[in-house]
Amino acid sequence: MSIKQARHQASRTLAAHAIEDAPLEAELLLMHLLGIDRAHLYVRLEDEFLPHEEQALDQLIDRRLSHEPLAYIIGHREFFGQDFYVAPGVLIPRAESELLVEEALDYVESHFPDKTHRSKRDEKVEKSGKELPTEHKSPAVEKYEKIAEIGTGSGAIAISLALRLPRATVYATDVSPRALEIARVNCEKHGVQDRVQLLEGDLLTPLPEPVDIIIANLPYIRDEEIAELSAEIRMYEPVVALAGGRDGLHRIRQLLVDAPQKLRPGGIVLIEIGPTQGEVLTSWARGLFPAARIALAHDLSGRARVLRVVLTRH
Ligand SMILES: C[S@@+](CC[C@H](N)C(=O)[O-])C[C@H]1O[C@@H](n2cnc3c(N)ncnc32)[C@H](O)[C@@H]1O
C-alpha cells in the first residue's frame, strides 16, 4: 500500500466514526507517525507504506476512536502561530483563546506606545551589531509592561505574549503542578524560560508584585454541564481546567475581587468567558469597579468571549 492509500483509508475510518475533520486528522496522524511535516508527506505520497507502519497507524486510529484527543496522541497543538507541547493533565489550547492574546497586545500598543517605538528602533540597532553614541540612544524607558497569566495550563497564552513582547515581565500561574511542568517544557521550546516565571498557587496569590495586565482563561463551565461535554473533553481533559463551580463563575468572580490588589493603576483584566456569560459578568463587574471601563470583546461570529476591565489611572 502507498502512503496515499493509507491516508485515504485512515480518513475513511475516522469519518465512519463521526470524527470531524477526518481528512485533516488522518494527515496529522501520518505526519506524526512518519516524523515528517505536511510538505514532506505530500512529496512522499507515492512511497510504500510499510507493514509495521500500517500496524502503528492502526494503533493510533484505535486511540482516536476511543475519543483520545488528537493533540494528546500527536503531542502538540498550534496556538497563535506557534507549536506547543501538550499531554494529558493539561488543557489543549483552543483557537478561541487567541482573542485574549489579541486584546492584550492591543492594550500594550495603546498604553505603552513610547516603549514599543523604542524597542523596535533599539532592536534594529542591536541586530546591526553597532553601538550608537549615547546621545543617539532612545531615552531610558523606566516602564515595560508586566503581565500575569492566571491558570496558564500549557503556557500557550503567556508564551505567545512573551514572544511578541520581548521586554515584558511575564508571570504565569497555575494550581496544577502537572500543567506547570508542561508549561516549563514549552517555555524552553520557545526560548523564553528566563522571561516567563512559572508560579504555583491559587489565582493571584503567587504574584510577587502588581502587574499591568491580568489575563486569564479560567474554568467557566458549570459543574453540572461537565457530564454533557463531548467524550474527548469529559474523559481526557483535566476537570480542574474546566469546572467553574455551580454557576461556572466561581473562579472568575474571585479573580475580579482580588484583582485591585495586584493591578497597577490603569491596568487591565482580560478574562475569557462562555458566550452566554457576558451580560451577568458585565453587570457584576460594574458593581465591583464603578469607575472602570468595562466592555466585552467579541469573536468573529459576534459572540462575547472576553470580559475587559480597565482600571482608571488614579
Ligand atoms: C481553561 S484552562 C486554561 C489553560 C490555558 N490558559 C489555556 O488557555 O489553554 C484553566 C487553567 O486554570 C487552572 N486553574 C484552575 N483553578 C485555578 C486556580 N484557582 N488558580 C490558578 N489556576 C487555576 C487549571 O489548572 C488550568 O490549567
> Which residue is closest in CA terms to ligand 1's atom 9?
93
Residue 24: its pLDDT value, please? 97
Up-side HSE of residue 67: CA atoms within 13 Å toward CB? 9
| CB contact at 8 A, 260 and 275 | no
In 122-139, which positions are buried (b, 16+ CB within 10 angstroms) versus exposed (e)? eeeeeeeeeeeeeeeeee
- Same domain? 106 vs 164: yes
Domain-located, residue 106: yes
Cβ contacts of 124 within 8 Å, gap of 6 or more? none
- Same domain? 145 vs 102: yes
Higher pLDDT, 154 or 313: 154
CATH number for position 137: 3.40.50.150
Residue 143: its pLDDT value, please? 64
- Same domain? 295 vs 229: yes
CB count within 10 Å of CB 308 equals 21
> Which residue is closest in CA terms to ligand 1's atom 4?
153
**Of the residues 50, 66, 82, which one is the last residue of a structural domain?**
66
- Average pLDDT taken over every residue of the chain: 91
| Ligand 1 proximal residues by C-beta, below 6 Å | 91, 93, 97, 150-154, 156-157, 173-176, 179, 202-203, 217-219, 240-241, 251
- Same domain? 36 vs 111: no
81: left (phi over 0), alpha (psi -120 to 50) or beta: left
Domain-located, residue 71: no
Domain-located, residue 76: no
Cβ contacts of 221 within 8 Å, gap of 6 or more? 229, 242, 243, 244, 248, 274
Domain-located, residue 77: no
Of the listed ranges 91-95, 129-133, 149-153, 208-212, the least confidently predicted one is 129-133
**Of the residues 29, 48, 66, which one is the last residue of a structural domain?**
66
Domain-located, residue 78: no
pTM: 0.90
3-state secondary structure of 263: strand
Q: Give residue-wise pLDDT tens across range 171-195.
A: 999 999 999 999 999 999 999 999 9
- Same domain? 205 vs 301: yes
d(CA 186, CA 159): 8
**Of the residues 66, 82, 114, which one is the last residue of a structural domain?**
66
d(CA 146, CA 264): 9
- Same domain? 13 vs 120: no
- Same domain? 50 vs 110: no
Q: Give residue-wise pLDDT tens across range 103-125.
A: 999 999 988 875 544 444 455 55
Is residue 90 scored above 60 in pLDDT? yes
Tell me the sheet residues that pair with 211.
263
Domain-located, residue 204: yes
Ligand 1, pocket-test mutation among 77, 84, 90, 152, most atoms within 8 A of CB: 152
Higher pLDDT, 177 or 138: 177
d(CA 121, CA 32): 41
What one-character-per-residue DSSP string does 6-30 give? Answer: HHHHHHHHHHHTT-TTHHHHHHHHH
- Same domain? 278 vs 188: yes
Q: How many domains does the chain have?
A: 2
Domain holding 36, by residue range, is 3-66
Tell me the sheet residues that pair with 304.
298
State the DSSP code for 48.
B
Q: How far is CA 217 from the centre of its chain?
A: 8
- Same domain? 250 vs 131: yes
Q: Give residue-wise pLDDT tens across range 23-36.
A: 999 999 999 999 99
Residue 312: its pLDDT value, please? 81
Domain-located, residue 88: no
Domain-located, residue 173: yes
